Amino acid sequence: MTNSKLKINFNPGQAAIPQSVLQQAADAVLNYNNTGLSILGIPHRGKLFADILEEANTLVKDLCNLGNEYEVLWMHGGGRLQFAMIPMNYLGDGETAGYIDSGYWAADAISYAKHYGNVAILASSKQDNYTHLPAWPASIDNTLAYLHITSNNTIYGTQCSHIPKVDVPLIADMSSDIFSREMDYTHCDMFYAVAQKNIGMAGVTMVAVKKDMLQRTKRNLPPMVSYAAHAAANGVLNTPPVFAIYTALLMLRWTKEKTIADIEKENNAKTALLYKEIERNSLFDCIVNIKTDRSKMNVCFTATKPEYEKAFIRFCEEHNVTGIEGHRSVGAFRASLYNAISLADVQQLVALMQEFETINNK
Ligand SMILES: *Cc1c(COP(=O)(O)O)cnc(C)c1O
């Protein structure tokens, strides 16, 4: 039943998942660990799921070097529900939250926060269509309720080199680069990541939050949108997305086995190779010109002539390579090189770029 002829998948999310993880997930749907039950049929308040949750939480803490001052939660509602829950929980009436406006998702988070309080945009690169990171603010007002940053800008292909240390609670959207490199996760009071990039399948969002943040909720909220209520219910406030959490656990085990240090090395090699080829190849150009701002997860590039755009995408599809179409607001191409993409996959793309150049320069 295994399909060994899977395409090389450069989609931005949902995205590539390692074959071994897909196989184990598929097996669990049919008969979870020989329990005689499908993973889709196990009770969410029973021991089978409690073990899954505990192992997943332990692995997150282990991979991010988090101590017991952090709580790990698995939430419904994707990234956007976090955009809403953060101000609901942590931006009180009359208070101001700081946001760094570094791209599409950051701007969306800002628009959600405005429903609940004041937003101070401390830096923005919108005027340049987000083709570089905004300059870090010279000073940060320490009365801000919190500061929200986006560590990797999935659509525009820029990425923060590090997680800053600030004097207000720091909240980071790490949806598209979590576990891709060593990072100072502990500089954050809360960070979160949708699963459908580096932690498996859509339907669940990993949230790591300091326990003292849980005490600082600013509103009397219905439990489903309260971090404190989810934590108090030990992750089973309602029926959680069990299969998505199990798939996340499989990805966490895969990540732990590879080690983040080795994943980071491979990610560095993957992007070095691809950016170098874009710069060398007469048919393509990089969109992000400041090299230190370039993302190691989402590589955005354009064609030197408009007619190459559709033609190259078609050429890739003919050669079993998919998902490189760029976001309409940015340009021709985006190759998303999440952890499941290997160096060999990128070598394949580079070979196609070279072949395409040879054909078109005849
Ligand atoms: C993909 C992504 C999201 C996605 O949010 P959904 O609501 O789950 O679609 C949020 N933030 C970033 C940085 C992303 O890359």
Q: What is the mean pLDDT of residues 86-102?
A: 97
Q: Indicate if 26 and 103 belong to the same structural domain.
A: yes
Q: What is the mean pLDDT of residues 65-72?
A: 97
Taking only the tens place, the pLDDT of each residue in 35-61 is 999 999 999 999 999 999 999 999 999
Residue 184 is among the residues annotated as catalytic for this protein: no
Taking only the tens place, the pLDDT of each residue in 173-223 is 999 999 999 999 999 999 999 999 999 999 999 999 999 999 999 999 999
Q: Indicate if 175 and 98 belong to the same structural domain.
A: yes
Ligand 1 touching residue 11 (CB < 6 A): no
DSSP structural state of residue 168: S
> Which H or E run contains 355?
helix 343-360
Q: Which amino acid is it at 113?
A: A
Grade residue 5 by pLDDT with cuts at 50, 70 and 90.
confident
Q: Indicate if 314 and 342 belong to the same structural domain.
A: yes
Distances (CA, A) of 116 to 1, 37, 102, 109, 276: 50, 44, 21, 12, 45
Last residue of a domain, one of 241, 258, 275: 258
For residue 2, is pLDDT > 90? no
Interval between CA 337 and ligand 1 midpoint (Å): 16
pLDDT score for 4: 61
Token reading at 4? 């060994």
DSSP structural state of residue 210: E
For residue 290, is pLDDT > 60? yes
Taking only the tens place, the pLDDT of each residue in 24-34 is 999 999 999 99
Q: What is the mean pLDDT of residues 134-143?
A: 96
Dihedrals phi, psi of 168, to nearest 5 degrees: -120, 160
Q: Domain with 281 in it: what CATH number?
A: 3.90.1150.10
The per-residue pLDDT of the chain, averaged, comes to 96
Q: Indicate if 169 and 314 belong to the same structural domain.
A: no
Last residue of a domain, one of 242, 258, 274: 258
For residue 1, is pLDDT > 50? no
Whether 297 is in a domain gets the answer yes
Residue 165 is among the residues annotated as catalytic for this protein: no
Using CA positions, which residue lies closest to atom 10 of ligand 1?
Answer: 79
Which segments within 70-224 are labelled E, that is strand?
70-75, 96-101, 118-124, 147-150, 152-153, 158-159, 170-173, 190-194, 205-210
Q: Indicate if 312 and 350 belong to the same structural domain.
A: yes
Grade residue 357 by pLDDT with cuts at 50, 70 and 90.
very high
Q: Domain with 104 in it: what CATH number?
A: 3.40.640.10
Whether 201 is in a domain gets the answer yes
Q: Indicate if 277 and 250 belong to the same structural domain.
A: no
Inter-residue long-range contacts of 28-34, CB under 8 Å, 24+ positions, other chains counted: 28/243, 28/246, 29/243
Taking only the tens place, the pLDDT of each residue in 126-137 is 999 999 999 999
**Contact indicator for 55, 258 with CB cutoff of 8 Å:** no
Catalytic residue selected from 74, 101, 105, 270: 105
Whether 10 is in a domain gets the answer no
Residue 362 is among the residues annotated as catalytic for this protein: no
Q: Indicate if 65 and 177 belong to the same structural domain.
A: yes
Q: Indicate if 274 and 204 belong to the same structural domain.
A: no
Round to whole Å and give the CA distance between 255 and 257.
5
pLDDT score for 352: 98
pLDDT score for 329: 84
* Mutation to probe ligand 1, out of 82, 171, 176 (largest number of atoms < 8 A from CB): 176
As for how many domains the chain has, the answer is 2
Last residue of a domain, one of 258, 289, 318: 258
Domain that residue 283 falls in: 260-360
